[in-house]
């Protein structure tokens, strides 16, 4: 078997997106359609219209042993913040104080070592378990929040079949997503039992001709976004337009995004769908109100305007089962905001004015809000 390490990445956006509408056959249940506008006609999104209560700010400790790298993914769970950085850092911080607690595993071949972090569904809220990739192809490891290695997973697969995401379907079954890197993969999903044995599959219907000379290569850190909502597993493939859920082993379409754009991450609460999208004009962020069917969008770089404190914009990164949305801002951007907004800074609450003392090389500032129900 060829090693996954020899494969450089996914095909360019145009190749993936051009096949985005070729989905598996599903039930005839009516899909909720979400129509959103072009980036050129976006309006300013206001944080106060989406959240209740105050914004929670946590300044992460910045000791030498816990300085974070790039490509952050931050998850909040009760009194903890679980931070993933690049492919090799997993750090725990205290949610109330921001103090550093411990590191989880290392990127090495030691007993607690792993190959790389996972970008889609790296943390299981129900089992309090952190997933990473092992050194063998199609292998994963699970750590608890104390840093103990709880299990090693080695999945049964066919040749040239690589599992890029592994997620819990229920208390007994796991679901593996097969990377369709060459447009010719037989399976899209593989179901596994508690012994990591293959049970059954869902076929891959998307087909395309691919060659390095014609299409080139582009690396994406994940190619299918998974999340749990109301105890059901949901997914949307990268740069496609339909969000599905699993009802047992059956795939059910739930939402279709109609904006001539490829969808990236999706976060869901009782009232909202938050999503980012990719268009030729740039990246955008949208909010769909499930109660009113209203959709609002903004440019991703602008984020959601903080009209509560008139402070830093809010860019959602993850969501908790309690409908709390997590965002963060780099220390460099915090310092820059104070330099560019001296008049606004004077009117900030005292606890926020103290953030001007942050160093540009400090760990980021984490922000958490509670969505309206």
Q: Is residue 8 over pLDDT 90?
A: no
All domains in the chain, ordered by first residue: 24-371 (2.120.10.30)
Give the pLDDT mean for 311-331. Answer: 97
Look at residue 280 in the predicted model and tell me its pLDDT: 83
Residue of 1, 8, 25, 367 lying closest to 218 (CA atoms): 8
- Helix ranges restricted to H, the chain: 13-18, 212-215, 331-340, 342-346, 350-353
Q: What is the pLDDT of residue 15?
A: 40
User: How do residues 228-269 score in pLDDT, each as one tens digit?
Assistant: 999 999 999 998 999 999 998 899 999 999 988 999 999 999
Q: What's the pLDDT at 331?
A: 98
Q: Which residue has the higher pLDDT, 316 or 24?
A: 316
| Buried b or exposed e, range 291-310, using 16+ CB within 10 angstroms | eeeebbbbbbeebbbbeeee
**DSSP state for residue 170 in the 8-state scheme:** S
User: Which whole number is the average pLDDT over 307-321?
Assistant: 97
Mean pLDDT within 44-57: 96
What pLDDT, in 10s, does the model give residues 81-131? 999 999 999 999 999 999 999 999 999 999 999 999 999 999 999 999 999
Report the alpha-carbon distance of residue 291 to residue 32 in Å, rounded. 12
* Cα–Cα distance measured from residue 311 to residue 308, given in angstroms and rounded to the nearest whole number: 8
Question: What CA–CA distance (Å, rounded) separates 369 from 312?
Answer: 13
Residue 305, Cα to own-chain centre: how many angstroms? Answer: 21
Beta bridge partners of 289: 272
Q: Are 18 and 238 in contact (CB under 8 A)?
A: no
Asked whether residue 18 carries a pLDDT value surpassing 50, the answer given is no
Longest C-alpha distance within the chain, in Å?
62
Would you say residue 356 has pLDDT above 80?
Answer: yes
Cα–Cα distance, 161 to 183 (Å, whole number): 12
> What's the pLDDT score for residue 248?
87
* Chain centroid, CA 97 distance in Å: 25
Q: Any idea what the Cα angle at residue 259 is, between residues 256 and 265, rounded to 5°?
A: 65
Please write down the long-range contacts of 282-289, taking CB distance under 8 Å and 24 or more positions apart.
282/39, 284/39, 284/42, 285/45, 285/315, 285/316, 286/34, 286/36, 286/259, 287/45, 287/50, 288/34, 288/36, 288/255
């Amino acid at each position: 078997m060829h090693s996954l390490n020899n494969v450089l990445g996914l095909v360019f956006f145009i190749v993936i997106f051009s096949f985005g509408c070729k989905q598996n056959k599903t039930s005839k249940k009516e899909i909720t359609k979400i129509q959103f506008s072009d980036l050129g006609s976006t309006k300013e999104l206001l944080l106060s219209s989406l959240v209740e209560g105050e914004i929670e700010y946590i300044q992460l400790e910045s000791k030498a042993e816990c300085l974070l790298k790039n490509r952050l993914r931050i998850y909040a769970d009760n009194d903890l913040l679980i931070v993933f950085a690049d492919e090799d850092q997993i750090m725990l911080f205290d949610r109330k104080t921001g103090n550093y607690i411990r590191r989880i595993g290392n990127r090495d071949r030691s007993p607690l070592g792993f190959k790389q972090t996972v970008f889609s569904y790296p943390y299981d809220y129900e089992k309090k378990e952190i997933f990473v990739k092992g050194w063998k192809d199609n292998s994963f490891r699970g750590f608890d929040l104390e840093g103990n290695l709880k299990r090693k997973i080695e999945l049964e697969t066919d040749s040239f079949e690589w599992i890029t995401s592994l997620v819990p379907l229920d208390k007994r079954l796991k679901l593996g997503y097969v990377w369709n890197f060459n447009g010719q993969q037989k399976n899209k999903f593989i179901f596994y039992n508690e012994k990591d044995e293959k049970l059954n599959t869902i076929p891959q219907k998307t087909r395309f001709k691919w060659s390095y000379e014609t299409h080139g290569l582009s690396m994406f850190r994940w190619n299918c976004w998974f999340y749990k909502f109301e105890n059901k597993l949901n997914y949307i493939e990268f740069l496609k337009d339909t969000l599905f859920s699993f009802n047992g082993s059956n795939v059910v379409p739930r939402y279709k995004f109609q904006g001539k754009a490829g969808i990236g991450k999706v976060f869901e609460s009782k009232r909202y769908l938050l999503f980012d999208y990719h268009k030729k004009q740039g990246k955008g962020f949208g909010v769909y109100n499930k109660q009113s069917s209203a959709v609002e969008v903004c440019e991703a770089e602008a984020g959601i305007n903080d009209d509560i404190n008139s402070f830093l914009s809010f860019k959602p990164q993850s969501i908790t089962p309690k409908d709390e949305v997590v965002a963060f801002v780099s220390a460099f951007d915090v310092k820059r905001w104070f330099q560019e907004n001296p008049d606004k800074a004077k009117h900030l609450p005292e606890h926020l004015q103290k953030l001007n003392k942050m160093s540009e090389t400090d760990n980021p500032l984490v922000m958490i809000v509670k969505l309206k129900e």
